[in-house]
Structure 1
Amino acid sequence: MKRFVLFLLLLVCSCNSKKSDYFDSIAENDIKLFPPKPGDWLYSRKEKGQTFEQFSKSKHVIPTKENNIIYLKPIGEFDSLQIRQIELVRQYLEIFFQLETKVQKNASNAIISKEARRIGTEKQEQFLAGFILDSVLKKERPQNGIALMALTEKDLYPKPEWTFVFGLASYRDKIGVSSIYRLQDKSLKGKDFNLCLERLLKICSHEIGHMFGLHHCIDADCVMNGTNSLSETDEHSLRLCSICQRKLNSGFKYDNLKRLKELEKYFKENHLTDGLALMEKDLEEIKK
């Protein structure tokens, strides 16, 4: 009898250790952040971060049978390459969060009122990001939608005193908007296509990550790091660090290895070499 009880205890311990093996393994690839330099997000912001325990105790959205789809809403006049990027973002988010992701019907720029438009410092038209959240997205989030992200080809600004913003989100309402305008260099051909795509993947997964309860990460190089500029966005990783992955998986309960292999395949097929290298390193650690 004692041997049987001991066997059960060893079996339980073995099962519990296996659950943490994935995160413990990939933690070997977490890279500590360098001390922030002037201009960096953390240089002027003393953020406290968010432990796994704090995340667990917080109120955050968890997919249900009724609410389990991420929606993307294009607003504007997109060319063929931009349309291709939106589809690639859809594919990526579906893998990244392991949730079905759909693109809604494209909306015209005419839905943005004159009061929510201005001409920026570069003579470009800009839309007030808050207007898109409050007057467009709040009304259009589907009943089965767990998150709704608008994508615009016009530049955005958050308030009159700011020159621009890459994106804005209401984490309480699970809605957000991001702009492609500043993400593309010169054109979307060749290397510029992949550069813009990688930036878009980072920004969209970052903002939707916030909607799902993830705070800015200060533990490691991670897609949930805060950024002040496009150059800082480029410096940070596409990858969720092991702690942030543990947080996300705690409520979503997806297969970590399946997600990792799908990300590896996505990066390989779309010639995103940095992302591919990161996924290959994680897979190597798991095999050890």
Structure 2
Amino acid sequence: MKKIILFLLILFSSCNKEKVKETPGKILKEIPQEASYFKQIKSNDVKLAEPVYGDWLFSHKEKCQTFEQYFRSKHIVPTTDANIIYIRPIGNFNSLQKKQIQLTNEYLEIYFQLKTKTLAPISNNVVPNSARRMTAEGHEQLLAGYLLNDILKEEKPLNRIASMGLSELDLYPKPEWNYVFGLASYRDKVGVSSIYRLQDGELTSENFNLCLSRLLKISSHEIGHMFGLHHCINANCVMNGTNSMEETDMHSIRLCSVCQRKLNSCIPYDNKKRLSDLEKYFKKNDLIDGFDLMKKDIEIIQ
């Protein structure tokens, strides 16, 4: 039986065409000069290795989205009426899981430099029997599409710019599929993800940091898509496509210089402040890989 892995969305754009096709009579936005910050941190970008069988890029021949293409594309931007990212927990979470959700909230607020709020959890009981099932292994799954379309899309929290549901239980997208890590509607700026398979069976103090790193990568990746970022093939980057948990673990938690420039053109935050905030977050939470990456960027811009 087939498996869906991590919001399988193939995004097509051409890396070879630096110019966006112009429409007669349409005035295109002027491309801003690349700031020195992005030029400096570019030297810390790590080139992607040649894909091998099982890797995302081995089976998905994606082309890159240039900064010019992103800048002139239609994507959401924060406004006075839409400037808050929301997390909606779904299920019954234990103390360690609640801590991970809290830390994810803190991280997303730093990462996007936008106010982020966690709403009260929704009970699994809101999902009807027709949208849930038991697996052969004996654990329960919820229909991802029901959570997305019948619950999350219907919610209209104040000043929402993007919303991510986090399910305690495993998810499936349709009867013939085994499972899915999550599902999203980028048009509606809403997604739902499951923490079930991020935990290697059970979340413990021993695997807490590894599982937290996975959750931070997946959450920032999917919300990044909501802000119009395509999959990255420029460097090892949190916006890389992924085919497995093993590949997710190998990918960087850092946005490459090109993707940082895209995001900053959408959300005009202070890059140095964001970098410093991220370094402090990773240090406080003993996420060594993330801390080392931020430290390298800080050193190169000083």
Same fold (TM over 0.5): yes
In structure 1, distance between residues paired with 2:139 and 2:299: 46
Instruction: Give the structure 2 partner of residue 113 of structure 1.
Output: 128
- 1:252 is matched with which residue: 258, 267, 271? 267
In structure 1, distance between residues paired with 2:261 and 2:158: 28
Instruction: Give the structure 2 partner of residue 169 of structure 1.
Output: 184
- 1:35 is matched with which residue: 50, 55, 67? 50
- 1:277 is matched with which residue: 292, 296, 299? 292
In structure 2, distance between residues paired with 1:142 and 1:186: 33
The 8 Å contact of residues 141 and 148 in structure 1, kept in 2 or not, is answered as: no
Give unpaired runs (5+ residues) of structure 2: 1-31
The 8 Å contact of residues 85 and 197 in structure 1, kept in 2 or not, is answered as: yes
In structure 1, distance between residues paired with 2:217 and 2:48: 17
In structure 1, distance between residues paired with 2:240 and 2:63: 12
- 2:79 is matched with which residue: 64, 68, 91? 64
Shift of 1:124: 1.6
Instruction: Give the structure 1 partner of residue 109 of structure 2.
Output: 94
Instruction: Give the structure 2 partner of residue 211 of structure 1.
Output: 226
Instruction: Give the structure 2 partner of residue 227 of structure 1.
Output: 242
Segments ≥4 residues shifted beyond 3 Å: none
Greater Cα shift, 48-57 or 78-87: 48-57
Instruction: Give the structure 1 partner of residue 148 of structure 2.
Output: 133
The 8 Å contact of residues 67 and 146 in structure 1, kept in 2 or not, is answered as: yes
The 8 Å contact of residues 26 and 282 in structure 1, kept in 2 or not, is answered as: yes
Greater Cα shift, 92-101 or 135-144: 135-144
Shift of 1:118: 1.6
Instruction: Give the structure 1 partner of residue 170 of structure 2.
Output: 155
Shift of 1:186: 4.7
Instruction: Give the structure 2 partner of residue 9 of structure 1.
Output: none
In percent, how many aligned pairs have the same letter?
63
Q: Which amino acid aligns with 1:104?
A: L
Change (3 A) 1:164 1:241: same
In structure 2, distance between residues paired with 1:128 and 1:244: 32
The 8 Å contact of residues 73 and 149 in structure 1, kept in 2 or not, is answered as: yes
The structure having more radius of gyration, on CA atoms, is: 1
In structure 1, distance between residues paired with 2:48 and 2:174: 30
Shift of 1:162: 2.1
**Deviation string, structure 1 residues 93-149 (Cα, Å, up to 9, x no partner):** 000000000000111001112111122343221111111110001111324100010
In structure 1, distance between residues paired with 2:260 and 2:138: 41
Query: How large is the RMSD of aligned CA atoms in angstroms?
Result: 1.3
Q: How many residues align?
A: 271
Instruction: Give the structure 1 partner of residue 216 of structure 2.
Output: 201
- 1:80 is matched with which residue: 84, 95, 100? 95
TM-score, normalization by structure 2:
0.87
Instruction: Give the structure 1 partner of residue 17 of structure 2.
Output: none
**Deviation string, structure 1 residues 158-209 (Cα, Å, up to 9, x no partner):** 2223211111110000000111100113543333000110000000000000
In structure 2, distance between residues paired with 1:286 and 1:94: 23
Greater Cα shift, 152-161 or 29-38: 152-161
Greater Cα shift, 247-256 or 159-168: 159-168
Local SS of the residue matching 1:126: strand
Instruction: Give the structure 2 partner of residue 5 of structure 1.
Output: none
Instruction: Give the structure 2 partner of residue 103 of structure 1.
Output: 118
